[in-house]
Structure 1
Amino acid sequence: MLVNEIAGIFYNYFKDSKCSSLTSPLDIKLQGYAPKFKEDPNVVQPDIMVICDPENVVDDKYQGVPDLLVEVLSPSSRKRDLILKLNLYSKSGVKEYWIINPENKKITQYVFTEDRDIEAVNDLHPDQVLESEYFEGLEIQVDEIFSKIN
């Protein structure tokens, strides 16, 4: 449900641009390094990705570096999303990574530098607005994301 809420917001924001949002299942192979993944360490399926180079989608695989990635935490994905994927995404050249935590209704926004380091970490709660650092004007009321869950 949270993925659909965010995907709808992204659809409206990106509908007149060269960028678009895609939802899982869609494999991406990144060039970072996360040695603890049991399968291919650099192939992941983020819940949502924003790409600005659609020509790199071939046969249900994306072969570029997404600009923005979104993951919704679940008990089974928590460690992977918070540690392994954070490292992989930053070292691969992703510009922003949002982690949606339905348990505490919080969104954590990571912004990465061109040198692939963490530039900023923002924890946002339901009374706040999430503003993309990379996509000007992309703003999300945090409480709207969580309005349909208890």
Structure 2
Amino acid sequence: MCVVCDPEKLDDAGCLGAPDLVVEILSPGDNKRELKNKYEVYEESGIKEYWVIHPSEQTLLIYTLVGGRYQSSRLFVSGDVVESSCIAGFKLNLEDIFEG
């Protein structure tokens, strides 16, 4: 999933330039090389935040672009409330997404 905050970046074909936020929900088939490649592409493209959700582990890691390089958050777990640095006022209680 990706989030674009600037409507000027959108046209009929999609997003012009990098989205502000990409959220990836890992599946059992995801491999480390694929994740590393995405991390590098997203960082180079200037995506402000990259969230990696691991459903079976019930964890979230947030990478935030600072000075052109990603800095990682601590590992968030079910029950933590996380906030986006690029979407003002957006908060997510991880317990809500890991229920079930």
TM-score range, shorter chain: 0.7 to 0.9
Q: Which of 54, 59, 67 is residue 101 of structure 1 equivalent to?
A: 54
Deviation beyond 6 Å, 4+ runs, structure 1? none
Spell out, residue by residue over 1:63-100, the C-alpha distance to the aligned partner (whole angstroms, 9 max, x if none): 221011001001223432x3111111111111101011
Report the counterpart of residue 70 of structure 2 in structure 1.
118
Whether the 8 Å CA contact 1:69–1:98 is kept in 2: the answer is yes
% same residue: 34
Could you state the TM-score of these two structures normalised by the residue count of structure 1? 0.59
Alignment gaps of 5+ in structure 2: none
| 1:12-45 superposed Cα distances (whole Å, 9 cap, x missing partner) | xxxxxxxxxxxxxxxxxxxxxxxxxxxxxxxxxx
Map of 2:36 onto structure 1: 83
Number of aligned positions between the proteins: 99
Partner of 1:10: none
Larger relative strand fraction: 2
Q: Is contact 2:4–2:15 with CA below 8 Å preserved after alignment?
A: no
Q: Structure 1 regions of 5+ residues with no counterpart?
A: 1-47
Instruction: Confirm or deny: 8 A CA contact 2:61 2:72 kept in the other structure.
Output: no
Asked if 1:143 is matched to 2:95, the reply is yes
CA offset at residue 60 of structure 1? Answer: 4.5
